[in-house]
Amino acid sequence: TVEFHLAERPEGWPTPDTFRRVERTLPELAEGEVRVLNRFVSVDPYMRGRMNLGESYVAPFELDAALTGGAVGHVVASNAPELPVGTAVSHDQGWRSVAQGPATTFRRAAEIPGVPLSTSLGILGMTGLTAFVGLRDIAEIKPGDVVFISGAAGAVGTAAGQIARLMGASRVVGSAGTDAKVAMLTERYGYDAAFNYNDAAPVAEQLAEVAPDGIDVYFDNVGGEHLEAAIGALHRGGRIALCGASSEYNVTTPKVGPRNMSRLITQSLRLRGFTIGEHVAVAPEFAKAMGEWFAAGKIAYDETVVEGIENTPQAFIDLLAGKNVGKMVVRVDA
Ligand code: NDP
């Protein structure tokens, strides 16, 4: 197998030197084990946090050991009758071409005709579930709400815009980092209006233009200036789901937080963070709802597919730099 190890802990932005490519011969399969040829491996922003030492909700990656993450593939050798050769599975041994281990560490992945297997890493998998849980259970979205979503053109954001609409939002607005992404938000992802946060005008001003009457829900993927702008725009009783902080992952000195936190008091606002690992029990309900929306043609999705396992480190770096639309995945056997 070809796999990637963490060669050094990045300070600020990761570089190609952060990673080391290693070729390894896998041992014979033990009883109860399977070998899986990965078809797609996932790169996700949370992996940046795991490259640092320090307290977090998942343990830091170890130096000089293979990185891990979401992946999906097919069983190519099996010593476990429950997962015969040919079964599609998703699992946590990403960043490598071949995964091997006890069958219990692999989950069957749905194979839908005409739909790429990679969707089980994105719209039908972790990032779709994150959008669903963040809106429904964390922000407690209600019909008629005006919803603002940052990181709107990414994997979570493209799902969240459409789910917010399907859950009854009266207006959905979003932000992203390029004009091309902003155009896609309204043309493809069900957003009523959107803006480019890299434009000169402050985020608060741009938000006021697309949501002149204020907002009820903010789904935060980026933190920083966006969070302050959203706090300033929320109606009384408004709710924030804190999902991610993409604007802060590669800065070496943390920025000062929002300056308007007292609005949480005066306007009875609620700010609630979450990690999707604590909400996996929702997965079957999400699969049912998303399966129905998906089959009814109500969900658009895009993937940015990087070809070749060799390009996994660059795919990860490019993800952090915003080169993706929708879910960023690596196709292993380019
Ligand atoms: P994305 O597909 O959104 O990719 C990351 C995006 O971050 C880039 O495309 C880029 O888009 C944006 N970005 C980069 N730098 C900045 C910046 N300085 N300011 C604003 N945006 C920036 O990733 P995901 O959809 O997978 O994840 C979105 C967020 O949700 C992340 O913060 C992630 O950590 C979080 N997350 C949290 C989970 C949880 O359990 N709480 C689970 C899954 C994801 P652009 O071009 O628009 O800048």
pLDDT at 10: 96
Domain boundaries, the chain: 2-122+302-331, 127-277
Q: Is 244 in the pocket of ligand 1 (CB under 6 A)?
A: yes
Contact 50, 58 (CB under 8 A): yes
Atom in ligand 1 nearest the alpha carbon of residue 273 = 41
d(CA 47, CA 313): 11
Neighbouring residues of 79: CB distance < 8 A, sequence distance ≥ 6 = 29, 30, 31, 32, 33, 34
Count of CB atoms situated within 10 Å of the CB of 82: 12
pLDDT over 80 at 242, yes or no: yes
Q: Is 154 in the pocket of ligand 1 (CB under 6 A)?
A: yes
Q: Is 100 in the pocket of ligand 1 (CB under 6 A)?
A: no
* Digit-coded pLDDT (tens) for 182-191: 999 999 999 9
Atom in ligand 1 nearest the alpha carbon of residue 243 = 41
Which amino acid residue places its CA nearest to atom 10 of ligand 1? 322
pLDDT at 244: 97
Q: Nearest Cα to 147, choosing from 80, 210, 86?
A: 210
pLDDT over 70 at 334, yes or no: no
* Digit-coded pLDDT (tens) for 250-296: 998 888 899 999 999 999 999 999 999 999 999 999 999 999 999 99
Percent of the chain clearing pLDDT 70 (strictly above): 100
Return the CATH fold of 2-122+302-331.
Quinone Oxidoreductase; Chain A, domain 1 (3.90.180)
Atom in ligand 1 nearest the alpha carbon of residue 246 = 32
pLDDT at 91: 98
pLDDT over 90 at 178, yes or no: yes
d(CA 270, CA 2): 46
Which amino acid residue places its CA nearest to atom 31 of ligand 1? 244
| Average pLDDT over every residue of 246-253 | 92
Q: Is 324 in the pocket of ligand 1 (CB under 6 A)?
A: yes
ipTM comes to: 0.99
Which amino acid residue places its CA nearest to atom 11 of ligand 1? 322
Neighbouring residues of 289: CB distance < 8 A, sequence distance ≥ 6 = 132
Lowest mean pLDDT among 29-33, 52-56, 294-298, 326-330: 52-56
Q: Is 138 in the pocket of ligand 1 (CB under 6 A)?
A: no
pLDDT band at 56 (very low <50, low <70, confident <90, very high): confident
Return the CATH fold of 127-277.
Rossmann fold (3.40.50)
| Average pLDDT over every residue of 222-232 | 98
Q: Is 198 in the pocket of ligand 1 (CB under 6 A)?
A: no
